């Protein structure tokens, strides 16, 4: 039996969708790693009565641990600590050493920054004194910004342990690492079952085909129900996350063997690695250049996402107009006239141009119709031609009809380009 | 007094953060437009007991309307309709016309697609029959994909009205438009107060300076508390969303006047328009080209986000290496040697190169150190040089030190580039 947890995300800007919550998913991952079962994430605004209602709901559902994010600032609408104290039936008390720590941090900030205007230190300190008020008996998590977090121990059988964390992810994340080492959190999670989590990724397999394989697995593999499998399809990639207790590892191995047997062409990752990780590794020692039309820089941006990419990315051309395809990539005007900008010969010429202009040994080119306009009966919206080319070897050229709206087609094309790069670079001999 | 609503997002992949929920924020916006107050968003996995607990929680909080998303598929773990029926104390009944509609849709899909493998129509139909089971007395929302939604009328004073929608945003969104026109939803929202929502945007103003202005507004503007103001800082842009009842419009006008008085240089939008909207409008009739180093295509991708951008985007160069800056943009080797790749003279030369190579009349160039490596005492990580240049006019060149990690610096640089384009294009005479 797992320990169960709930997450309360506070903040009107998150509730109303103007800021995307990054803490819920991040904490969900950490809980999974710890073998803690996440039952609920609840989101509310800055109203104390709504925060309290959510805390009561989660306690009523019997969770062992509640984690809150947000509402720790100095302003009047930051009410999380006071609300948690009330919920946990504890008084708020001033912690003098914490007050001194916050004063030091503020002095430091004010001396380095000019944006404080005329505010004097004493009035800033008064506003921030509230951040040094903590529930009696709580363990303090030292501030990463100016806002400290707290861990309020639960009482067995009646109240869960509550971990109160700040909203900014850069503050919340290091503070969480401290929180899980506290006695109160360790106690709340005691006796939990450890779980292993493994991620497998496929590209180009329909979800229905995987569903059929999993049904067969259920029939053929002993103890199959010891695997907790969730699948998720995103931009043509199918992610299969499996959770199991360590002694069910042989069952998972049987599942992997079945996936390999049925879908070896589509299975590209069994260790959780993303296609981006694999392409980065394959590009070591090489130089890549891009030539993009409909994706207009998205592939170049994705290739340079990670630190160190300047070792292998030379650059790219966004050739949005035909003129740019000719001038910057040397695509022949007659080729454009004969086949149209969205065609395999033009994609191949763009890739060749990128190789030549950047002196690269690897190039990827994309030209397509992202829509909503520009489609025809022969080449409907979503038609995208790809060409991946190695200076010293083969070329891989493909045309796909991708579903969805403009943003979908552009995103999906970017992912397809990454997979074609992976395919050509991992087995250049077989590709052409 | 507003009507209050709650949103229940179901799906293990959303709860565990592997898929980002887009429905909660989208529905939050729609509710705001309707003047309905959103109290809670709750997220749970596919477990019926957790879904039911959330429905009970929201009903206990006295919401008038609950909207659920997800869990309407044909597979065994799609349990939302059955769970809602139980919660609303209604039997599930087979709707024969709906079953016929779903059969037609499936026949159509199967005849067009090859990915059904050997599945015969009868077995597919049996699996999908469950989608034609609806709570007795519910109003059916015709399927957009294969999954129908339902509206289950509430009973005054005891149960809220529940709108059950599918998970895919492309199905949920048109179905919501149908849902709000049903009698049950109209009844649930009757008597609500209408609210106006206005959005103002600033660029380059610290949040603390805005906070001071708002405190002054509280002191100087009569009925200031009739405005519900939330502010949010994101990548250097400050978004101020104000909600008020229509007769408080003069109070909002006073606030706007105060913002104009204090922050005219930073205020760039009072009608909700994004900088992207403004740049797109300013580029009408022009041709723009990009030259990007650290952002590596992100500005080009952002400029081409919207349909119709091929009218004014010629293309761009991602010049990640120095060689590419020389070969593709004609940046002088001696300039690079004298000032370094991250310098204002090089940014200006890149912009000039983009104008020339693409035959454009507008160019934007970016060169900077996104990190984590590559920084020095003189040019630390986050140093980014921008140059925006018109063929027929002035140039605007700037160096900024941007905060955050690699991803932050790249994102923020992209936003700064958009604002510099806006500034130069809206007042070219003043800029240099």
Q: Which of A296, A354, A368 to mutate to test the interface with B (most CBs of B within 10 A)?
A: A296
Q: Do A301 and B303 touch (CB under 8 A)?
A: no
- Is A115's CB within 8 Å of B209's CB? yes
pLDDT number for residue A12? 87
A410: nearest CA partner in chain B: B305
Q: How far is A251 from chain B (nearest CA, A)?
A: 22
Instruction: Establish if B77 touches chain A: CB-CB under 8 angstroms.
Output: no
Q: Which residue has the tokens 């002088």?
A: B332
Hey, which bits of A228-352 come out as E strands? Answer: 228-234, 237-244, 267-269, 288-292, 313-319
A19 contact residues in B (CB cutoff 8 A) = 232, 234
Mean pLDDT value of segment B317-334: 95
Q: Is the pLDDT of residue A432 over 50?
A: no
Q: Which of A108-122, A403-417, B146-160 has the lowest mean pLDDT?
A: A108-122
Q: Which two tokens stand for residue B17?
A: 């953060």
| pLDDT for residue B309 is more than 90 | yes
Q: What is the pLDDT of residue A206?
A: 80
What is the average pLDDT value for chain A, to the nearest integer?
90
CB neighbour class for B226 (10 Å; exposed up to 12, middle 13-18, buried from 19) = middle
The helix/strand/coil state of A91 is coil
Order of strands, sheet of A228-234, starting from the edge strand that comes earlier in the sequence: A228-234, A237-244, A196-203, A267-269
Calpha distance B25→B22 (Å, rounded)? 6
The SS3 of residue A381 is coil
Q: How many CB pairs under 8 A join A and B?
A: 242
Asked whether the predicted pLDDT for residue B118 surpasses 90, the reply is no
Q: What ipTM does the predicted assembly reach?
A: 0.81
**CB-based contacts of B355: which residues, under 8 Å, 6+ apart?**
B289, B361, B362, B363, B389, B391
Closest partner CB to A301 (pick from B32, B115, B298): B298
pLDDT tens column, A205-217: 887 788 889 999 9
β-bridge pairing A228-234 and A196-203: unpaired
User: Which positions in chain A touch B29 (Cβ < 8 Å)?
Assistant: 16-17
Residue B296 near residue B368, CB atoms below 8 Å: no
For the segment A151-172, the average pLDDT, to the nearest whole number, is 90
DSSP string, B351-418: HHHHHHHHT-SEEEEEEE--SSSS--SSS-TTEEEEEEEETTS-EEEEEEE--SSHHHHHHHHHHHHH
Which residue has 């921008």 as its token pair?
B386
Closest residue of chain B to A372, computed from CA coordinates: B307
Contact B263, B337 (CB under 8 A): no
**What mean pLDDT do residues B90-102 have?**
91
Distance between B367 CA and the closest CA of chain A, angstroms: 13
Q: Please indicate whether, in this complex, the C-beta atoms of B315 and A314 are within 8 angstroms of each other.
A: no
> Hey, what are A244's tokens?
């199991």
Compute the distance between CA of residue A133 and CA of residue B322 in angstroms, rounded to an integer.
54
Q: Does B291 touch chain A (CB under 8 A)?
A: no
Give the pLDDT confidence score for residue A127 in this predicted structure. 66
A170 pLDDT higher than 70: yes
Q: What is the pTM of this model?
A: 0.82
Sign of CA dihedral A168, A174, A176, A179: negative
Of A20, A57, A301, the CB nearest to B301: A301
Does any CB of chain B come closer than 8 Å to the CB of residue A318? Answer: yes
What is the average pLDDT across B2-15?
A: 90
Choice between B350 and A29, residue whose per-residue pLDDT is larger: B350
pLDDT score recorded for residue A119:
55
pLDDT of residue B1: 57
Taking CA atoms, what residue in A is nearest to B52? Answer: A61
Q: Which residues contact B369 (CB under 8 A, 6 or more apart)?
A: B294, B342, B375, B379, B380, B381, B382, B383, B384, B409
Using the Cβ of B123 and the Cβ atoms of chain A, whether some distance falls under 8 Å is answered with: no
pLDDT at A430: 46
What distance in Å separates the CA atoms of residue B122 and residue A195, rounded to the nearest whole number?
40
Residue A166, both tokens: 């700040």
Strands (E) located in B112-165 = 133-135, 139-141, 149-152, 161-165
pLDDT at A229 over 90: no
Residue B20 touches partner A, C-beta closer than 8 Å = yes
**What residues form DSSP beta bridges with A197?**
A243
Token representation of residue A426: 């991992």
CA dist A378 and A359 (Å) reads 35
Give B365-415 pLDDT, tens digit per residue. Answer: 999 999 999 999 999 999 999 999 999 889 999 999 998 889 989 999 999
Residue A233 is predicted with a pLDDT of 77
Closest CA to A145 of A43, A82, A74: A74
How much is the pLDDT for B396?
Answer: 96
What is the rounded average pLDDT of the residues A398-415? 93
pLDDT for res A117? 47
Within 8 A of B61 by CB-CB distance, chain A residues are 50, 53
User: With bands split at pLDDT 50, 70 and 90, how would you rate the model's confidence at A144?
Assistant: confident
Looking at chain B, the whole-number percentage of residues with pLDDT higher than 90 is 68
A105 pLDDT above the threshold of 90: no
What pLDDT is stored for residue A35 in this prediction?
81
Is 90 exceeded by the pLDDT of residue A291? Answer: yes
Q: Check B44 against A39: CB less than 8 A apart.
A: yes
Among B15, B43, B318, the residue with its CB nearest the CB of A316 is B318
Would you call B120 an interface residue with chain A, using a CB distance cutoff of 8 Å?
Answer: no
- Residue B430's pLDDT band, with cuts at 50, 70 and 90, is very low
Q: Quick one: pLDDT at residue B431?
A: 40
The closest CB to that of B17, out of A28, A316, A359, belongs to A28
In chain B, residues with a C-beta closer than 8 Å to the C-beta of A321 are: 310, 313-315, 358
The two tokens of residue A232 are 């998720």
pLDDT digits (tens, 9 = 90+) for B70-81: 998 777 778 999
Who among B17, B295, B305 is closest to A25 (CB)? B17
- Closest Cβ–Cβ partner in A328, A359, A410 for B357: A328
Look up residue B127 and give its DSSP letter.
Answer: H
Give residues 178 to 237 of B whose Cβ lies within 8 Å of A: 206, 208-209, 211-212, 230, 232, 234
Q: Write out the DSSP string of B85-108.
A: HHHTT--EEE-HHHHHHHHHHHHH
Q: Poorest-confidence range of A113-122, A142-151, A157-166, A231-240?
A: A113-122
Tens digits of per-residue pLDDT, B134-179? Answer: 999 999 998 887 789 999 998 866 899 999 999 989 899 999 999 9
Q: Does residue A429 surpass a pLDDT of 60?
A: no
pLDDT at A263 over 50: yes
CA B59 – CA B34 distance, rounded (Å):
20
Name residue A5's beta-bridge partners.
A38, A65
Task: Quote the pLDDT of residue B12.
Answer: 87
pLDDT at A113: 53
Give the angle B412-B26-A163 at the CA atoms, nearest 5°: 70
Residue B73 confidence (pLDDT): 79
Residue A255: pLDDT above 50? yes
CA nearest B40: which of A325, A40, A63? A40
Structure tokens at A305: 């996402």
The pLDDT of residue A120 is 65
Task: Using pLDDT thresholds of 50, 70 and 90, give the confidence band for residue B130.
Answer: confident
Answer yes or no: are the C-beta atoms of B264 and A282 closer than 8 Å. no
Respond yes or no on whether the N-terminal peptide bond of residue A284 is cis (omega within 30° of 0). Answer: no
Beta bridge partners of B65: B5, B161
Instruction: Identify the pLDDT of residue B56.
Output: 95
State yes or no: pLDDT of B259 exceeds 90: yes
Averaged over B192-221, what is the pLDDT? 88
Q: Is the pLDDT of residue A124 over 80?
A: no
A116 at B interface, C-beta within 8 A:
yes
The answer to whether residues B326 and B333 touch, using CB atoms and an 8 Å cutoff, is yes
Spell out which residues of chain B touch residue A38, defining contact as CB-CB under 8 Å.
15-16
3-state SS assignment for residue A367: strand
A40/B17 Cβ within 8 A: no
The A residues from 129 to 188 touching B (CB cutoff 8 Å) are none
Task: Compute the average pLDDT of residues A198-203.
Answer: 94
At residue A112 the predicted structure's pLDDT band, cuts being 50, 70 and 90, is: low
Cβ–Cβ under 8 Å, residues B279 and B426? no
The structural domains of chain A, ordered by start, are 4-188 (3.40.980.10), 196-273 (3.30.70.2860), 276-431 (3.90.950.20)
Nearest-neighbour CA in chain A from B134: distance (Å): 25
Give the containing element (helix H, strand E) for B7.
strand B4-10
Gap between the Cα atoms of B203 and B275, Å rounded? 10
Q: Residue A368 — very low, low, confident or very high, per pLDDT cuts 50/70/90?
A: very high
Q: What is the pLDDT of residues A62-90, one digit of tens each?
A: 999 999 999 987 777 789 999 999 999 99
Candidates B170, B304, B308: best to mutate against A (most CBs of A within 10 A) is B304
CA distance linking residue A387 with residue A325, whole number of Å = 15
| A337-349 pLDDT per residue, tens | 999 999 999 999 9
């Amino acid at each position: 039996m797992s320990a169960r947890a709930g997450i309360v995300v506070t903040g009107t800007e998150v509730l109303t969708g103007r800021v995307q919550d990054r803490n819920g998913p991040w904490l969900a991952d950490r809980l999974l790693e710890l073998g803690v079962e996440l039952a609920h994430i609840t989101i509310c605004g800055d109203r104390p009565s709504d925060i309290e209602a959510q805390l009561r709901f989660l306690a009523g559902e019997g969770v062992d641990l509640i984690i809150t994010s947000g509402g720790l600032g100095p302003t009047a609408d930051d009410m999380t600590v006071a609300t948690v104290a009330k919920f946990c039936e504890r008084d708020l008390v001033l912690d003098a050493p914490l007050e001194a720590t916050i004063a030091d941090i503020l002095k430091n900030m004010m001396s380095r920054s000019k944006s404080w205007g005329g505010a004097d230190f004493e009035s800033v300190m008064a506003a921030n004194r509230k951040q040094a008020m903590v529930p009696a008996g709580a363990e303090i998590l030292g501030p990463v910004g100016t806002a400290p977090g707290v861990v309020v121990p639960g009482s067995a059988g009646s109240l869960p342990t509550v971990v109160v964390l700040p909203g900014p992810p850069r503050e919340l994340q290091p503070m969480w690492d401290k929180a899980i080492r506290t006695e109160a959190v360790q106690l709340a999670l005691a006796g939990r079952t450890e779980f292993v989590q493994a991620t497998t990724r496929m590209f180009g397999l329909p979800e229905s085909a995987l569903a059929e394989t999993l049904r067969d697995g259920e029939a053929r593999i002993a103890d199959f129900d010891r695997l907790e499998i969730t699948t998720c399809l995103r931009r043509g990639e199918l992610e299969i996350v499996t959770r199991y207790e360590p002694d069910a590892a042989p069952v998972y191995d049987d599942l992997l063997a079945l996936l390999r047997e049925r879908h070896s062409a589509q299975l590209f990752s069994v260790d959780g690695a993303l296609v981006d990780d694999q392409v980065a590794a394959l590009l070591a020692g090489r130089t890549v250049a891009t030539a993009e039309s409909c994706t207009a820089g998205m592939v170049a941006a994705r290739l340079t996402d990670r630190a160190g990419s300047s070792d292998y990315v030379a650059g790219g051309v966004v050739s949005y107009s035909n003129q740019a395809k000719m001038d910057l990539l040397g695509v022949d005007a007659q080729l454009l006239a004969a086949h149209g900008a969205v065609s395999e010969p033009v994609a191949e010429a763009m890739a060749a141009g990128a190789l030549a202009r950047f002196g690269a040994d690897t190039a990827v080119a994309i030209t397509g119709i992202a829509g909503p306009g520009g489609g025809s009966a022969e080449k409907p919206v979503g038609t995208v031609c790809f060409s991946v080319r190695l200076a010293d070897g083969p070329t891989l050229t493909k045309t796909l009809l991708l579903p969805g709206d403009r943003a979908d087609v552009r995103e999906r094309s970017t992912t397809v380009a990454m997979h074609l790069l992976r395919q050509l670079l991992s087995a250049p001999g077989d590709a052409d």
